[in-house]
Chains A and B, each alone.
Chain A
Amino acid sequence: MLKVKNLHASIEDKEILKGINLEINPGEVHAIMGPNGSGKSTLSSVIAGKEEFEQTQGEILFENTEISEMDPEERAHKGIFLSFQYPVEIPGVSVTNFMRTAINAHRKANGLEDMPANEMLKKIREKSESLEIDRKFLSRSLNDGFSGGEKKRNEIFQMAMLEPKLAILDETDSGLDIDALKIVADGVNKLRSKDNAVLLITHYQRLLNYIVPDVVHVMIDGKIVKSGGKELALELEERGYEWVKAEKAI
Chain B
Amino acid sequence: MELKEKLVSSFLAFEEEYTGTNDDLHKIRNQAIKDFETIGFPSRKEEDYKYTSLKSILKEDYSLFPKKENALEYKDIKKYFIHEIDTYDLVFIDGIYSSHLSSTTHDKIDVCLMSSALNKDLYKPVIDNYFNKLAPKNGLNSLNTAFTKEGAFIHIHKNTLADKPIQIINFSTGNESSLLVQPRNLIVVDENSHCQIIERHQSLTDQPVLTNSVTEIFADKRAIVDYYKVQNDKLSASLIDNTYIEQKSESFCSVHTFSLGGKLTRNNLNFYQRGERIDSTMKGITIIEGKQHVDHNTLVHHIEPNCESHQDYKGIFDEKSVGVFNGKVVVEKEAQKTNAYQSNNNVLLNDKATINSKPQLEIFADDVKCSHGCTIGQLDEEALFYLQSRGIPRKEASGLLMYAFANNVLASVKIPEIKKRINKLIALKLGVELGFNL
Contact = CB atoms under 8 A, between A and B. Distances in A.
B408 interface: yes
Contacts of B65: none
Q: Which of A97, A109, A158: most chain B CB closer than 10 A?
A: A97
B404 A117 contact: no
Given A49-B389, A72-B388, A105-B391, A91 B383 contact: no
Given A73-B394, A96-B436, A117-B436, A88 B388 contact: no
A76 interface: yes
Contact of A91 (B385, B387, B404): B404
Interface range, B side: 20 to 34
B248 to A, nearest CB: 35
B69 interface: no
Given A96-B438, A101-B433, A139-B438, A90 B392 contact: no
B404 to A, nearest CB: 3
Given A94-B438, A138-B438, A87 B386 contact: yes
Given A101-B400, A105-B391, A109-B391, A72 B433 contact: no
Interface in A21-56: 48-52
A51 B385 contact: yes
Contacts of B290: none
Nearest to A89: B383
Nearest to A90: B404
Given A84-B386, A88-B383, A101-B400, A76 B408 contact: no
Given A91-B408, A92-B403, A105 B438 contact: no
Given A51-B385, A92-B407, A73 B393 contact: yes
A102 B436 contact: no
B389 A105 contact: no
B23 interface: no
Interface string A102-121: 10011001000000010011
Contacts of B406: 92
Q: Which of B386, B389, B391, B403: most chain A CB closer than 10 A?
A: B391
B438 A92 contact: no
B296 to A, nearest CB: 21
A71 interface: yes
A82 B401 CA distance: 20
Nearest to A77: B391
B408 A106 contact: no
B436 A100 contact: yes
B389 A76 contact: yes
Contacts of B401: 90
A72 B387 CA distance: 9
A102 B392 contact: yes
Contacts of B394: 71, 73
A92 B380 CA distance: 15
B226 interface: no
Interface string B372-409: 00000000111101111111111011001101111110
B389 A72 contact: yes
Contact of B391 (A102, A120, A138): A102
A82 B386 CA distance: 9
Given A94-B438, A96-B436, A50 B404 contact: no
Contact of A50 (B385, B403, B407): B385
A242 B382 CA distance: 33
A180 interface: no
B392 A105 contact: yes
Contacts of B396: 101, 105
B437 interface: yes
A176 interface: no
Contacts of A158: 390
Given A90-B404, A92-B404, A162 B390 contact: yes
A102 B385 CA distance: 13
Given A94-B438, A97-B436, A139-B438, A76 B390 contact: yes
A81 B385 CA distance: 12
Nearest to B436: A100
A50 B394 CA distance: 12
B391 A106 contact: yes
Contact of B393 (A52, A81, A105): A105
A77 B396 CA distance: 15
Contacts of A82: 389
Q: Which of A48, A87, A90: most chain B CB closer than 10 A?
A: A90
B408 to A, nearest CB: 5
Contacts of A139: 438
Q: Which of B385, B388, B390, B394: most chain A CB closer than 10 A?
A: B390
A125 to B, nearest CB: 11
A215 interface: no
Contacts of A4: none
A64 to B, nearest CB: 21
A49 to B, nearest CB: 7
29 contacts: A48-B385, A48-B389, A50-B385, A51-B381, A51-B385, A71-B388, A72-B385, A72-B388, A72-B389, A73-B394, A75-B389, A77-B391, A81-B389, A81-B390, A84-B389, A88-B386, A90-B387, A91-B404, A91-B408, A92-B403, A93-B400, A94-B438, A96-B438, A101-B396, A102-B392, A105-B390, A106-B391, A121-B438, A158-B390
Interface of B: 380-383, 385-394, 396-397, 400-401, 403-408, 433-434, 436-438
Given A88-B383, A96-B436, 9 more contacts: A71-B388, A82-B389, A90-B383, A92-B403, A92-B405, A93-B400, A94-B437, A96-B438, A100-B436
Interface of A: 48-52, 71-73, 75-77, 81-82, 84, 87-88, 90-94, 96-98, 100-102, 105-106, 109, 117, 120-121, 138-139, 141, 158, 162
